[in-house]
């Protein structure tokens, strides 16, 4: 099995090479050359999530140096529950927030970290991962790489622009994870990371690498929970579900399209977005126009130029096919607030602002139909938005509480990237 660049001007590589490289040398994103059909899956014989992950992912790692480690990698990475919860009748929620940082990014970050650690041991080298974060990504990456051998992580976040709980998740690790509070904006943080990569001396000396969401090692494992949930849904309801996915950079939804392509029993994939309307506008106008992002209550989805669209354009090169496969609806902030209130009032179920966009889309367009809304984060991560709306405090889940109790430390620096390497 080989992986090719969406831009078609880079050599095909195996999975572990694509994972260690991140971006393809031609600037494109790695995608599988073909999608192995799931027909080999004896789903009834599979007893655990890590076992299913292994079965789904093994064909992608055929002839790969990591193939011999794959079962162990899956057990290491997916060591938390993945419940499909029924809200009412055929309406379900796939809770992807039971990992260490209580958001779905734990799946991809933990799989990537487990792969990288083993590859570095085989190659007997070290590397340093740089991450600029406006909140959630950095936390998932820091948690996933904490105490991994051969890897140091430097996380940069903008001073005063992340929530207290987010900051705690960036700064509580110690050991091989160093947090930097940058006296500047998120854009400054991103600029510093870029400058460090362009500084050839530093880049070579430190073995700089990234772990951002375009890495194949984060996307592939996300396909697994769509295979898992659609089969589980089928067993419970005897029907194929429509899956509604709160989306920003479209990594999570791209993984769902890959699962569908492999033959997972999915009726339809629907994206819910916030007021960043690039994709719904594309579907109604036929013209794809990336733009600057706008800030919303569902801030992990504040993306105006979704990078994984490049993978969807590659999967469905014909615009008519893409338009037929893809459905997307936008939900604005007042409607997010109203939906959190409505669902708590009606069912006692608490939604995070991102998941609220998905539940709104279900209620407006798919009410009563066989559906899975993907819950991307635990509401306790966004208590400042959610608690005033529901008029009560949200119980912090055990995994998150553990992190909030740890001692924190960070280095305060300006916007000179060289200060990251002193």
Ligand X SMILES: *Cc1c(COP(=O)(O)O)cnc(C)c1O
Using the minimum distance from each CB to ligand X, give the nearer residue, 16 or 274. Answer: 274
* Whole-angstrom distance, CA of residue 44 vs CA of residue 47: 8
Question: Does 92 contact ligand X by CB under 6 A?
Answer: no
Which helix (H) or strand (E) element contains residue 171? Answer: helix 164-171
Residue numbers 354-373 binding ligand X by CB under 6 A: 354
Is the Cβ of residue 169 or residue 176 nearer to ligand X in the bound state?
169
Q: Is 32 or 248 the residue whose CB approaches ligand X more closely?
A: 248
What is the DSSP annotation of 324-384? HHEEEEE--HHHHHHHHHHHHHHH-PPPPHHHHHHHHHHHHHSTTSSEEEEE-B-GGGGHH
276 binds ligand X (CB under 6 A): no
Binding status of residue 250 toward ligand X by CB under 6 A: yes
Distance separating alpha carbons of residues 228 and 396, to the nearest angstrom: 27
Among 133, 169, 178, 249, binds ligand X (CB under 6 A): 249
Q: Does 242 bind ligand X (CB under 6 A)?
A: no
For 338-342, the CB contacts below 8 A with 24+ separation are: 339/363, 340/385, 340/386, 340/389, 340/390, 341/389, 341/390
Candidate residues 103, 115, 189, 224; the one interacting with ligand X per rule CB under 6 A? 103
Using the rule CB under 6 A, is 113 a contact of ligand X?
Answer: no
Q: Is 247 in the site for ligand X (CB under 6 A)?
A: yes
Q: Are the C-beta atoms of residues 142 and 409 closer than 8 Å to each other? A: no
Segment 62-91, which members bind ligand X (CB under 6 A)? none
From 144-152, 176-184, 245-253, 394-402, give the range in contact with ligand X by CB under 6 A. 245-253
Contacts of 119 (CB under 8 A, 6+ apart): 16, 19, 20, 65, 66
Q: Check residue 142 for interaction with ligand X (CB under 6 A).
A: no
Select 23 or 236, whichever has its Cβ closest to ligand X: 23
Find residue 95's DSSP bridge partners.
375
Stretch binding ligand X (CB under 6 A), from 41-49, 188-196, 244-252, 402-410: 244-252
Dihedral in degrees, nearest 10, Cα atoms 194, 195, 198, 201? -130
32 binds ligand X (CB under 6 A): no
Structure tokens at 238: 């005897």
Give the pairing of strands 177-182 and 411-413: parallel
Q: Does 327 bind ligand X (CB under 6 A)?
A: no
Q: Which of 99, 248, 358, 379 binds ligand X (CB under 6 A)?
A: 248
Q: Which residue ranges make up the site for ligand X (CB under 6 A)?
A: 103, 105, 136, 213, 246-253, 300-301, 354, 376-377
């Amino acid at each position: 099995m080989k992986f090719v660049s969406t831009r078609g001007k880079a050599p095909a590589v195996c999975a572990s090479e694509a994972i260690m490289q991140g971006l393809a040398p031609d600037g494109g994103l790695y995608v599988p050359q073909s999608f192995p059909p799931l027909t080999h899956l004896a789903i009834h014989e599979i007893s655990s999530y890590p076992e299913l992950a292994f079965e789904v992912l093994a064909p992608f790692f055929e002839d790969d140096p990591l193939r011999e480690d794959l079962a162990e990698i899956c057990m290491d990475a997916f060591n938390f529950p993945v419940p499909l919860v029924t809200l009412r009748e055929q309406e379900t929620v796939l809770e992807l927030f039971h990992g260490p940082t209580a958001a779905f990014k734990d799946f991809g970050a933990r799989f990537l970290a487990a792969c990288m650690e083993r590859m570095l041991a085989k190659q007997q080298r070290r590397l340093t991962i740089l991450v600029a974060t406006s909140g959630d990504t950095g936390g998932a990456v820091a948690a996933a790489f904490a105490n991994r051998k051969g890897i140091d992580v430097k996380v940069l976040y903008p001073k005063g622009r992340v929530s207290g709980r987010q900051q705690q998740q960036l700064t509580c690790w110690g050991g091989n994870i160093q947090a930097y509070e940058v006296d500047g904006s998120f854009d400054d943080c991103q600029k510093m990371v870029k400058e460090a990569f362009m500084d050839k001396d530093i880049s070579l000396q430190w073995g700089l690498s990234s772990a951002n969401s375009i890495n194949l090692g984060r996307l592939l494992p996300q396909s697994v929970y769509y295979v898992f949930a659609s089969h589980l849904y089928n067993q419970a309801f005897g029907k194929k579900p429509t899956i509604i996915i709160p989306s920003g950079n479209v990594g999570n939804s791209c993984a769902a399209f890959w699962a569908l392509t492999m033959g997972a029993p999915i009726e339809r994939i629907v994206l819910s977005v916030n007021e960043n309307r690039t994709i719904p506008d594309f579907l109604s106008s036929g013209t794809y126009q990336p733009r600057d992002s706008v800030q919303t209550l569902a801030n992990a989805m504040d993306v105006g130029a979704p990078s994984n669209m490049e993978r969807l354009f590659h999967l469905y090169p014909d615009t008519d096919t893409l338009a037929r496969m893809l459905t997307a609806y936008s939900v604005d902030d007042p409607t997010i607030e109203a939906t959190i209130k409505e669902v708590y009032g009606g069912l006692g179920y608490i939604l995070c602002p991102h998941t609220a966009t998905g539940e709104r889309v279900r209620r407006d367009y798919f009410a009563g139909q066989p559906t899975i809304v993907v819950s991307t984060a635990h509401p306790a991560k966004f208590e400042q938005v959610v608690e005033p709306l529901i008029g009560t405090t949200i119980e912090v889940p055990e995994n998150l509480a553990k992190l909030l109790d740890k001692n924190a430390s960070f280095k305060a620096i300006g916007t000179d990237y060289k200060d990251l390497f002193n």
